[in-house]
Homo-oligomer: A and B are copies of this chain.
Amino acid sequence: MEDNEYICHIDSAHHDDKFKKEMKNRLNRIEGQVRGINRMIQEDIYCDDILNQMAAIQSALISAGEILLEAHIKSCIVEQIKHGKVEAVDELMQTIKKMIR
């Protein structure tokens, strides 16, 4: 286990049940949307409708990622900075860069 994870997991409020449930609902919905697109392609639904649905999934996935990122910064990153582990920001930046591009 890495040091980062350690500090992160000490915080018992890391992800509470409410957060986990919300993410579960969001990701279940996204999973269902992906399955729906798969079916639409097999059934020769008009491409344009499928592409619009795909854009909606992208958007839902970005929202889910933003919520998780916020929870991550507010728990793990803030905790590490308070413990003087400012290098946690380097790792965070790598993650944000992947989300921006």
Contact = CB atoms under 8 A, between A and B. Distances in A.
A101 B101 contact: yes
A34 B31 contact: yes
Interface string A34-62: 11011001101011101110110110011
Contacts of A73: 89, 92-93
Q: What is the interface of chain A mostly: helix, strand, loop, or mixed?
A: helix
A93 B70 contact: yes
Nearest to A42: B20
A20 to B, nearest CB: 6
Contact of A81 (B4, B28, B46, B82): B82
A5 to B, nearest CB: 5
Contact of A34 (B34, B44, B97): B34
Interface of A: 2, 4-5, 8-9, 14-15, 20, 23-24, 27-28, 30-31, 34-35, 37-38, 41-42, 44, 46-48, 50-52, 54-55, 57-58, 61-62, 64-66, 68-76, 78, 81-82, 86, 89, 91-93, 95-101
